Chains A and B, each alone.
Chain A
Amino acid sequence: MNQELENKVTQLRKGILELAIMGFLYHGSHYGYSLVKALTSGGDLSLKEGTIYPILQRMTREGMVSAKWVESPQGPPRKYYRLTELGRSTYATLVEEFHRLVKLVNEPSGSIPTEGEDSTGTELSVRKEES
């Protein structure tokens, strides 16, 4: 893949990744590793797993998610994330927008009549020339 195409794909994936993270947190709280497992369970996202942590950190600062460290029965403490009220309402808006966009992208180009040449308009101008 060339550099430009790769950038485009990365850009596209970035926005959707954030939405997907919000989606999983909408349905329950997660810590980083469990969130990665959930995100990759549906198939390969070619996700650099480490990138979700800075995203989560930014979303925390934006007030979209809240986080707290919780002792784990096995292993080190885990930082659990959950969607805040602001995050929930934002998610709802974003999902709506996302579906609208998906529909827009999926719409076969033929199903919406394209504006062709206006035949009456042409005639009119011809007639005008005659007079």
Chain B
Amino acid sequence: MTAEQMYSPSAQAVINDYLDRLKYRLAGFPPADREDLLREIRCHIDEAFASESGGAEMERLLRILRRLGEPADVISERMSPAMVKLGKKKGLPFYILSGVLIVLFGLPLGAGVFGILIGVLAAIVGLLLAYFATAISLVVSGALGIIASFIVIIDPAIIERINLAFGGAENMHLIPSGIFFSPETEAFVCLILCIILAGLGALMLRGGRYLLRGIGYLFKISWEKVREIFSRNRQTRATGHSASIASACL
């Protein structure tokens, strides 16, 4: 026995409308869960309709649907645990902070949240790039400096010769301070400075790992929030319960 045979066209239209509204609200759910839930609710309506007599067809049907509850109420049962789960994930300070920031500034702005979110994320990516560029340039210039210093220590005359060959000034010093050490001493001081420089760059690169991980979390939580806001907006648009849902989330 198929559902089409069981109901009159108008009753079928009412059922389809209910299921469509439910489907709309289930947009944020995993597809398998969504299909299963719709199928179960459809099955519930059929079962209830077949087993309960009394009253005209439409009257019975509307009673069954009323007992089922409005689609928004039906799925609200699944929303809160999803939010709870979001809060229970790894307690990285970064993660929590970004969540708080997005909740504080994102939610009241509604659609404007995307602009802010994209702006913030772009700024963070920019900072990240600048950070790594700095780290890499420190390492590279440090390494070059170390090599140059070594050359000077091994053969102090070489730099002078290279300089002159390229038309440079005579008596070029590595440390342009006006104090003239011997080229070897200058090279040695320079070597130490360059090692410090390169070490700083290396440390920055190492620290970048944690930074990357933190940013990864930030992106993840932003993505989840955006999805959540998307599905919430869809719900609220129909019912106008935005205030209560927003407060429930906070």
Of all chain B residues, which has the CB nearest A40?
A: B67
> How far does the alpha carbon of A58 sit from the alpha carbon of B36 in the complex, in Å?
12
Chain B residues 11 to 50 lying within 8 A of chain A, measured CB to CB, are: 33, 36-37, 39-44, 46-48, 50
Q: Does B69 count as interface, using CB distance less than 8 angstroms?
A: yes
B49 to chain A, nearest CB (A): 9
B47–A48 contact, CB under 8 A?
Answer: no
Q: Does A24 count as interface, using CB distance less than 8 angstroms?
A: no
> How far does the alpha carbon of A33 sit from the alpha carbon of B49 in the complex, in Å?
11
**Residue-wise interface mask of A (44-81) relative to B, using a CB-CB cutoff of 8 A (1 in contact, 0 not):** 00001111011101100000000000000011111100
A55 — which chain B residues lie within 8 A by C-beta?
77
Q: Does B1 count as interface, using CB distance less than 8 angstroms?
A: yes
Candidate in A33, A49, A53, A78 with the most chain B CB atoms within 10 angstroms = A53
Give the interface SS of chain A, mostly helix, strand, loop or mixed: helix
A57 — which chain B residues lie within 8 A by C-beta?
33, 36-37, 78
Of the candidates B36, B44, B74, B75, the one whose C-beta lies within 8 Å of that of A36 is B44
A69 to chain B, nearest CB (A): 8
A75 — which chain B residues lie within 8 A by C-beta?
1, 43, 46-47, 50
Of the candidates A50, A58, A74, the one whose C-beta lies within 8 Å of that of B41 is A50
Of the candidates B1, B3, B48, B75, the one whose C-beta lies within 8 Å of that of A33 is B48
- The total of interchain contacts (Cβ-Cβ below 8 angstroms) comes to 71
> How far does the alpha carbon of A55 sit from the alpha carbon of B80 in the complex, in Å?
11
Range class of the A interface residue count: 20 to 34
A48–B67 contact, CB under 8 A?
Answer: yes
A48 — which chain B residues lie within 8 A by C-beta?
67-70, 73-74
Q: Does A23 count as interface, using CB distance less than 8 angstroms?
A: no
B47–A49 contact, CB under 8 A?
Answer: no
Q: Which 10 A-B pairs have the closest CB atoms?
A: A48-B69, A50-B74, A54-B78, A33-B47, A54-B77, A50-B68, A50-B69, A51-B77, A76-B43, A49-B67
| Chain A to chain B contacts (Cβ below 8 Å), 17 pairs | A14-B77, A32-B40, A32-B44, A32-B47, A33-B48, A33-B51, A48-B69, A48-B74, A49-B44, A50-B41, A50-B68, A50-B71, A50-B73, A51-B76, A74-B50, A75-B1, A77-B43
